[in-house]
Amino acid sequence: MTGTVDVEDVLSKLNNVEKRLGIPAIRMSDGPNGVRGTKFFNGVKAACFPCGTGLGATWDVDLLRQAGQLMGDESKSKGSHIILGPTINMQRSPLGGRGFESLSEDPVLAGLGAAALTAYNKVNGIHVSENDKILKGILRGEWGWEGMVMSDWWGTYSTSEAINAGLDLEMAGPTRWRGMALQQAVSVGKVHQHVLDERVRNVLNLINRVSAAKIEEYAPELTADTPETAAFLRKIGGESIVLMKNEDKILPLSKDKKTLILGPNAKYAAIHGGGSAALAAYYAVTPFEGIKSQLTSDPLYTVGCYSHKELPLIGDILKTANGETGISFKAYNEAPNVPDREIADELVLTKTELLMMDYNCSKLKSDLWYGTIEGTYTAEEDCDFEFSLGVYGAAKLFVDDKLLIDNDTVQRKGTMFFNCGTAEEKGTIPVKKGQAYQIRVEFSSAPTSKLDPGSNTLFGSGAVRIGGAKVIDAEEEIKHAAALAKNTDQVIICAGLNSDWESEGNDRDNMALPGYMDALITAVTAANPSTVVVMQSGTPVEMPWISSTKAMIHAWYGGNETGNAIADVLFGKVNPSAKLPLSFPKRLQDNPAFLSYKTERGRVLYNASLKVSVKVSNTGDLPGAEVIQVYVSQKNPSIKRPKKELKGFKKVYLEKGESTTVEVEIETKYATSFWDEVRDSWIIEKDTYDVLVGSTSEKIQVKGEFEVGKTSWWKGL
């Protein structure tokens, strides 16, 4: 797209139905810390910048401007006219899954760069995408915004309301709320023609603005990996690292001393968070690699403990039949039991997490298809090795043609793949040093899933994740790490979180470091005071050991050059000048937003529905069934109501000795309302309500309560 359009001329010729006149198409790409391109699955590689909080930690406007210019160059290489970033959000809670994407909790620092995109949530009861006060009154009126406003993906919830409020573009396509619905709204006067014209005008003006980049429509996606890019990423990575503590001048470290490197993040490249921030980086330098490159002799290493939420991906320890690092992926129209089936597609992949929301193969005849994933694992030592398998669709994992994990026959709901995938299933085998093991996964696409994804249809083709790790005894490993530390000149602990814990689609439950990490840091720093803790996370974590630790840096998720940037600070090549862009409370309870919203035992209570979970066990000698009944009782009603009213139930069948968790979900308005004859509507009274759960109305076995904070009325369904 190298030319502009005459906006008013095009508007005068357009009607509300057809699409002619050759209006150019524009391409958008995530994201907040790099330009991924158009694909999640097997995308073209890109530069990965430090995460948003890391960028904010630089407090350097000129450096951020340079980062933006380099992202612009990256965008051109991907044929993208618009970068869907930066993420603008002031982190009010340290637990937010996307907190790492934003620059700061402070509006001054967070507001250094911004674009307009409407959020999913409501503000004062009105969706942002149809909020006239925000879009017209504040954004365009008070702030003078003249650009286009589009929704977040599937964040439009109406036709007339959104158009009239000022939402120019519904994303993503194909449209759900415009098209024929909008034509009808205009024809009956719910949307005036001049309002629609204004929405179109803003989109056409955007096309003219981005045409200055001279990016052709549907341009091929290319890489732009240059020495200059690498040098800048290393510089901004180093400038983002915060010196948290340095007693007794532990830092900078010596390059000539005997050094021990340990911790779960040492040999793991935690270069970005999960979700829209994820991309296929040109390369990734681990902390171990970066530190080792600056030492004059090889360091000692031990893992110390694990911190993963799911077992680590194993693409880097597998080989294809041709000896390439990674896995072979073959797609078929037919199931594995069909003889002489033909390969529809064949790829070599380096990552064992396949998010196939945008996978497309012209030879596949329908949404139902099958895939075979293969790789060879050669054991580095005698040990027990644990594999894992998660899927949206169905999958089985075989080792040397023997079934190890079945995530097909029976599936458990999990949080993978934006909560539409299974739980992670695991299997363990003993392995011998030097022996090769053939790993094969038979996958079938999303239509074969046994789970209900709800409204989440992101992964049209499905998704699969293969992980693995040596089985360790964490307590023994910590003892081993402390013993090594005692006989070493200097120790570097690489700890923190990763994209499993910080990702779009999920929030953390607490601020604690996962697993045995606190115990590892405590034991090692006691064994050797000359220990530096390198912490990686995009948001605050609890550090109960900080008072007994002499040196610590916070390194965020640092992008491609993470390991080199960390090493530059540790060995004094870079004098750290970064500052925290958000507060690190000592405990979750110290955060200003802690419990400022209604909670029960620390869990947020939402008004949309009442959810009851109860464990049921069959303690008898035969299979059987039980009915779980949920009753609600208002404590102080204004009228005489039944002592308890049935509001929900579920029947469950259990084998002998089997247990399961039964969930009953009821909309709050249905759980609490009664008919108000005076106002001729349903009423929900402000009050405290008891929840009574049992097998009959008389046999109540579980009790709880919830509150309604405000009286309201409603009609309809």
Reported CATH class of domain 309-470:
mainly beta
Q: What is the CA radius of gyration of the chain?
A: 28
Q: What is the pLDDT of residues 409-463, one digit of tens each?
A: 999 999 888 888 999 999 999 999 999 999 999 999 999 999 876 655 566 789 9
Nearest to 376 by CA among 322, 297, 446: 322
pLDDT of residue 149: 95
Provide mean pLDDT across the span 342-370. 94
Which secondary-structure segment (H or E) carries 126? strand 126-127
Alpha carbon distance 684, 668 (integer Å): 9
Alpha carbon distance 562, 551 (integer Å): 19
* Chain mean pLDDT for the chain: 92
Structure tokens, 436: 């090769």
Provide mean pLDDT across the span 594-616. 67
Residue where the block lists tokens 């009609």: 715
Q: Which residues are within 8 A (CB) of 415 and not within 5 positions of it... i.e. 6 or more apart?
A: 421, 505, 506
- Percentage of the chain surpassing pLDDT 90? 74
For 173-234, the DSSP string reads SSPSSSTHHHHHHHHTTSS-HHHHHHHHHHHHHHHHHHGGG-PPTTPPP-----HHHHHHHH
Q: Which of 143-157, 463-477, 694-708 has the highest mean pLDDT?
A: 463-477
Angle between helices 562-570 and 227-239 (to 10 degrees): 50
Residue where the block lists tokens 């719910």: 190
Listed in order, strand segments (DSSP E) in 379-458 are 383-392, 394-399, 402-407, 425-431, 436-444
Q: Are 415 and 506 in contact (CB under 8 A)?
A: yes
- The segment(s) of the chain belonging to CATH 3.20.20.300 are 7-213
Work out the pLDDT band at 594, boundaries 50, 70, 90: low
Alpha carbon distance 185, 135 (integer Å): 20
Nearest to 444 by CA among 373, 368, 390: 368
Alpha carbon distance 653, 670 (integer Å): 27
Comparing 106 with 226, the larger pLDDT belongs to 226
pLDDT of residue 3: 72
pLDDT of residue 459: 64
Q: Are 624 and 654 in contact (CB under 8 A)?
A: yes
Structure tokens, 589: 């309870």
Which residue type is seen at 301?
Answer: Y
Alpha carbon distance 671, 630 (integer Å): 10
* Neighbouring C-alpha atoms within 13 Å toward the C-beta of 258: 8
Question: For strand 531-536 and strand 551-554, is the pairing parallel, antiparallel, or unpaired?
Answer: parallel
Provide mean pLDDT across the span 635-647. 91
Work out the pLDDT band at 110, boundaries 50, 70, 90: confident
pLDDT of residue 415: 86
Answer whether CATH 3.30.450.40 is correct for domain 7-213: no
63-72: list long-range contacts, CB under 8 Å, 24+ apart: 63/235, 63/236, 63/239, 64/112, 64/113, 66/232, 66/236, 67/232, 67/236, 68/113, 70/229, 70/232, 71/34, 71/35, 71/47, 72/213
Distance of CA 426 to the CA centre of its chain: 22
Alpha carbon distance 683, 673 (integer Å): 5
Alpha carbon distance 30, 687 (integer Å): 45
pLDDT of residue 601: 56
Structure tokens, 71: 């992202």
Neighbours of 74 (CB within 10 A): 23
Q: What is the pLDDT of residues 164-181, one digit of tens each?
A: 999 999 998 889 999 999
Work out the pLDDT band at 209, boundaries 50, 70, 90: very high
Q: Active-site residue 152, yes or no?
A: yes
Listed in order, strand segments (DSSP E) in 505-550 are 531-536
The phi and psi torsions of 233 (rounded to 5 degrees) equal -60, -35
pLDDT of residue 13: 80
Burial letters 204-235, b for 16+ CB under 10 A, else e: bbbbeebbeeebeeeeebebbbeeebbebbbb
pTM for the structure as a whole: 0.81
- The segment(s) of the chain belonging to CATH 2.60.120.260 are 309-470
- Say what the alpha-carbon torsion angle 453, 456, 460, 465 is, to the nearest 10 degrees: -70
Alpha carbon distance 49, 670 (integer Å): 48
Homologous superfamily of domain range 599-714: Immunoglobulins (2.60.40.10)
Answer whether CATH 3.30.720.200 is correct for domain 238-306+474-588: no
Listed in order, strand segments (DSSP E) in 294-369 are 300-302, 318-319, 327-332, 343-349, 353-355
Q: What is the pLDDT of residues 499-547, one digit of tens each?
A: 999 998 889 999 999 999 999 999 999 999 999 999 999 999 999 999 9
Alpha carbon distance 491, 687 (integer Å): 58
Q: Are 148 and 200 in contact (CB under 8 A)?
A: no
Q: Are 274 and 417 in contact (CB under 8 A)?
A: no
Size of the chain, expressed as the number of residues it contains: 717
Task: Indicate whether 9 pLDDT > 90.
Answer: no
- The segment(s) of the chain belonging to CATH 3.40.50.1700 are 238-306+474-588
Neighbours of 416 (CB within 10 A): 24
Alpha carbon distance 265, 521 (integer Å): 13
Alpha carbon distance 84, 345 (integer Å): 31
- Percentage of the chain surpassing pLDDT 70? 96
The phi and psi torsions of 69 (rounded to 5 degrees) equal -65, -40
Q: Which of 60, 73, 106, 152 is catalytic?
A: 152
Nearest to 11 by CA among 210, 206, 200: 200
pLDDT of residue 19: 63
pLDDT of residue 697: 81
Q: Which of 132-136, 541-545, 644-648 has the lowest mean pLDDT?
A: 644-648
Nearest to 566 by CA among 333, 375, 251, 291: 291
Residue where the block lists tokens 């009228």: 639
Provide mean pLDDT across the span 558-573. 98
335-343: list long-range contacts, CB under 8 Å, 24+ apart: 335/370, 335/444, 336/370, 336/372, 336/442
Q: Which residues are within 8 A (CB) of 211 and not within 5 positions of it... i.e. 6 or more apart?
A: 1, 2, 3, 4, 24
Q: Are 654 and 660 in contact (CB under 8 A)?
A: yes
3-state SS assignment for residue 149: coil
Work out the pLDDT band at 608, boundaries 50, 70, 90: low
pLDDT of residue 90: 85
Q: Are 182 and 159 in contact (CB under 8 A)?
A: yes
The Cα-based distances of 214 to 1, 79, 140, 202, 713 in angstroms read: 6, 10, 28, 20, 56
* Neighbouring C-alpha atoms within 13 Å toward the C-beta of 610: 23
